[in-house]
Amino acid sequence: MKLQIEELRSEYDKNQDRYIAELGEFLSIPSISTDPKYLSDCQRCAAWLSAHLEKLGFKSEILETTGKPVVLAKRVGKPGSTRVLFYGHYDVQPVDPITGWASDPFKAELRGAPNDPNRRIFARGAQDNKGQLFYFVKAAETLIQKGALDLDLTLLIEGEEESGSRGLSASLDAWQGRLEADALLVCDTGTLQAGLPAITMGLRGIAAMTVTVKGPAKDLHSGVHGGVARNPATELCRLVASLHDNQGRIAVPGYYDEVTEPSKTARDLANKFPLTAEQYQALTGAPPLGGELGLTPAERRGFRPTIEINGIHSGYGGPGGKTIIPAEAFIKISCRLVVGQDPQRALDRIKKHLVANTPAGVQISFSEERAEGIAVALDPDSNLARRAASCLKLIDGVDPLFIWEGASIPVVAELAKVSGAEPLMVGFGLEEDNIHAPNESFALSQFRAGYLYSAMILQELGS
Amino acid sequence: MKLQIEELRSEYDKNQDRYIAELGEFLSIPSISTDPKYLSDCQRCAAWLSAHLEKLGFKSEILETTGKPVVLAKRVGKPGSTRVLFYGHYDVQPVDPITGWASDPFKAELRGAPNDPNRRIFARGAQDNKGQLFYFVKAAETLIQKGALDLDLTLLIEGEEESGSRGLSASLDAWQGRLEADALLVCDTGTLQAGLPAITMGLRGIAAMTVTVKGPAKDLHSGVHGGVARNPATELCRLVASLHDNQGRIAVPGYYDEVTEPSKTARDLANKFPLTAEQYQALTGAPPLGGELGLTPAERRGFRPTIEINGIHSGYGGPGGKTIIPAEAFIKISCRLVVGQDPQRALDRIKKHLVANTPAGVQISFSEERAEGIAVALDPDSNLARRAASCLKLIDGVDPLFIWEGASIPVVAELAKVSGAEPLMVGFGLEEDNIHAPNESFALSQFRAGYLYSAMILQELGS
């Protein structure tokens, strides 16, 4: 018997206090994955979550990896059921600068009166991703209790998303048999504003590296050697300039060769993203004038690859001047990739281009190469996208946005591949949640929307 | 009665121990001009030097400036004498890193046996410039004692050369009447190797500034915003790349307009500088492949202006990656200028060019502009150059090199202007003296050569 949206609303409202209290317990464990000194907290967090899921009726295991443990919890439906794989992560970002926090990051604090529409829970992980995975867990709990969960549901909750998902990645092939699914649900995304749901239709792939240009053995006097020795900083700037043409297009030979063009439907949906140039400027302090001429910001973000300079450093940077030719210069670059592009091939093409353009007198080298992940795209005409949209509309009667985020969650592409499932990315995070920053929080109204959507989509996908 | 070179040699050898002991006393005063906490040491150093010059027969004054005091010492010859102005500085560089020193930087230490040709005195300032000005003082002492100083000699020893000569610069106009001269002697330069004397024929002018390109109000996520917002680091690199063409020529409109071409004599002499590409590579770790195509390294260094990037900084520079579009990027640039070029006009042309090439979506700004000094050139066909060459040849029978150093000593151009005198720059410093670095030292053989040259040129210029 399926539960209707009204029943779910009343079930949520009846239980919200308990849900938030349980979430507070989950948030109290400082499961920071990037810092080795929190290893036992991460293990404790996995154990807490696994025990919690057992109580709800899942058969849960803690799987060791080369890194932090993974919680794998299954609830098997009747034979032939649709198989749904849900992905989330229990690890959180570090809390520094700790002085920026108004309350203890590991002691959840509710702010706002019960009837305040912007009532929020503050803690590290309140949204990313403990809060978002927990509304899904609570929705599953409700369906289990009411006998309305009519599918095979597997929860895969890892503990290293904030530090590269390496343990999970390395284990995926070995676990393939346990992860095969018909749909992959991911809730680690967001939307534009409260009350306006969104389906994330695409994530870009990512690759990154460090490029170093070396010249003289040590910094040289810019008077004695200026005009004699080549300047590595100048040469590196010239190489960076060679990466794009005057139209903002990437000038690395072959870079666009495997780029898949979006369908007309996808392009039209992406262009419905309701952010004007003025709003973008207000949000970021800069106008949306980057990337390729002749494409809209939404098209550039969703469907086009980039090469961005994340940092460049060489020589003197303090007050006043220091008249040197620096011995070396380096850039940190990262590439966002679209469907069809291979991360390592993209890096190789850039390397080949840079080597070919490096003049005699300086040496170029490459390090910290990371071919991190391929792009993911959901077909807007797919059955899965349509069913998700209909569920989202039920929450507040508002049609969802279709967002091509531009960002990357490399493990999603890997999970899609190993599970054989189409990924469905719906999350309820907002910019103002301050994830990865001090005073992270999550609005209870968004937690509730996530709960309602999760319950609806699980019933929709069930038989 | 003029003293011959043999008499000077024997006079020096007889007195060397005393000269070096006195120099040791001079070196023991930590006259670091850039650090305000050494102000009283600078004052004490000026007082020591002034008193020393008084004892030798000069009429010496300590002149206050807006910065450190200047020692102005005069010895007047018979009416109608040639007027010689000597410039030096008693201030020294800081000593950090102090851990790099093998002995106390302010306790002079002699290393090497008395008959070791590379016997050296170690201390901060041993060469730059206390050691170099002190051999001149000792040469003047000898000539005075022997009744062989037959000219008006003015010593102008400042205390802020290592921190911009601002006090002296600001006073020059007021002091003009006391500084008028027929020749300006400067000993703050060097040569290529011991036993091979050199006349510095030219110094380049210098101008510098900081250029900042700003984009978004804060660092942006390179996934969400990549291809949407302009990247200030990329745009700054493109601006840097626009400063030069593919032939290494400066592409700033008008930059070469006032450049004076060197005479054939000057060019030929500059090209006699005996440093092969292999030697340059061994010295610096890089081949001499910078600057403009089609000119020799000596021509590029001596007669052509530059725009060098002394530093560039933007965004992330630590280990691994950080996927951001940095909020801003800046460069520190300095220009070496040749005869004819005005420093402020050079900066203005660069600014105009950069502004014209800055795309919409980022803002460019300029700060720390320093139009520090114009170029200086000695005419190789001049009487002064020839007389200096003949004196230098007497030391070891070796013809001097004519060096266009490429570096800048802005105060020399100002002194040449205010004194009305042609500058003659002869110094005995060597690369291995480690000036501005730990373990600064000066070879006694070079100190002796400086003494001999100083005595000879003073007699040559006298009537």
| SS3 assignment for A147-176 | CCCCCEEEEEEECCHHHCCHHHHHHHHHHH
Confidence of residue B321 (pLDDT cuts 50, 70, 90): confident
Is-contact A372 A206, C-beta < 8 A? Answer: yes
From A308's Cα to the closest Cα of chain B, the distance in A is 7
Q: What gap in Å lies between CA A378 and CA A184, rounded to an integer?
A: 11
Per-residue pLDDT at A320: 86
What span, in angstroms and rounded, lies between the C-alpha atoms of B421 and B298? Answer: 26
Can you read off the two tokens belonging to residue B204? 């380049």
Let me know the angle formed at the C-alpha of A246 by A240 and A250, rounded to the nearest 5 degrees: 55
Question: What is the dihedral sign for C-alpha A256, A259, A263, A269?
Answer: negative
Beta carbons of B286 and A324 less than 8 Å apart: no
Residue B259 at interface with chain A, using a CB cutoff of 8 Å:
no
Q: Averaged over B171-198, what is the pLDDT?
A: 95
pLDDT score at A112: 96
User: What is the radius of gyration, based on Cα positions, of chain B?
Assistant: 24
- In A, minimum Cα distance to B277 occurs at A228
Q: Measured between alpha carbons, how far is A399 from A396 in angstroms, rounded to an integer?
A: 9
In chain A, positions 334-363, which contact chain B (CB-CB < 8 Å)?
A: 334, 336, 359-362
Q: Once rounded to an integer, what is the mean pLDDT over residues B452-458?
A: 98
Chain A: give the shortest CA distance to residue B232, in Å: 9
DSSP 8-state symbol, A397: S
B193 at interface of A, judged by CB pairs closer than 8 A: no
Do the Cβ atoms of A229 and B309 come within 8 Å? no
* A320 interfacial to chain B (CB closer than 8 Å): yes
Reduced to 3 states (helix: H, G, I; strand: E, B; else coil), residue B61 is strand
B117 CB-contact burial (10 Å; exposed 0-12 / middle 13-18 / buried 19+) = exposed
Q: Best residue in A237, A255, A281, A299 to probe B by mutation, most B CBs within 10 Å? A: A237
Q: From CA B39, how far away is CA B31, in angstroms rounded?
A: 8
Per-residue pLDDT at B463 exceeds 80: no
Task: Give B112 to chain A, closest Cα distance, Å.
Answer: 28
| CB nearest to B312's CB, from A223, A233, A336 | A233
Q: How far is CA B209 from CA A9, A42, A238, B349, B371, in A?
A: 63, 50, 20, 13, 9
Nearest alpha carbon to residue B89 among B338, B366, B409: B409
For A124-253, where are the alpha helices, taking DSSP H only? Answer: 130-145, 166-179, 232-241
How far from B400 is each of B9, B149, B430, CA to CA, in Å?
Answer: 19, 24, 15
Flag whether residue B294 sits within 8 Å of chain A, measured between CB atoms: no
Q: Does the beta-carbon distance from A313 to B312 stay under 8 Å? A: yes
Contacts of A287 in chain B (CB under 8 A): 229, 360-361
CB atoms A322 and B310 under 8 Å: yes
Contact B237 A312 (CB under 8 A): yes
Say whether residue A94 is in contact with chain B using an 8 A CB cutoff.
Answer: no
In eight-state DSSP terms, residue A38 is G
Residue of B nearest to A189 (CA): B224
Residue A267 is which amino acid?
R
**pLDDT per residue as tens digits for the range B378-411:** 999 999 999 999 999 999 999 999 999 899 999 9
DSSP, res B430 = -
Cβ distance B406 to B370 under 8 Å? no
How many CB atoms neighbour CB B318 within 10 A?
Answer: 9
B305 to chain A: nearest residue by CA?
A227
CA distance B214 to chain A (A): 9
Report in angstroms the alpha-carbon separations of A311 from A94, A285, A436, B324: 22, 19, 20, 8
Residues of chain A found within 8 Å of residue B275, distances taken between Cβ atoms: none
B133: enclosing H helix or E strand: helix B130-145
Residues of B in contact with A230 (CB under 8 A): 286, 289-290
- Position B27: which residue type? L
Q: Nearest CA to CA, how far is A278 from chain B (Å)?
A: 13
| The pair of three-digit structure tokens given for residue B16, joined into one six-digit string | 């060397």
A284: nearest CB among B217, B289, B315: B217
CB-CB under 8 Å, A297 with B317: no
Label residue B349 by pLDDT band (50, 70, 90).
very high
Count CB atoms within 10 A of the CB of residue A278. 10
Specify whether the CB–CB gap between B151 and B84 falls below 8 A.
Answer: yes
Do B222 and A368 lie within an 8 Å CB cutoff? no
CB-CB neighbors (< 8 A) of A329 in chain B: 312
**ipTM summary value:** 0.90
Helix (H, G, I), strand (E, B) or coil at A242: coil
pLDDT value of residue A302: 96
Which of B286, B322, B405 is the closest to A216 by Cβ? B286
pTM of the model: 0.90
Alpha-carbon gap, residue B171 to B181, rounded angstroms: 17
Output the pLDDT for position A322.
87
Residues of chain A with pLDDT under 50: none
Percentages helix, strand, coil for chain B (3-state, rounded to 5) are 35, 25, 40
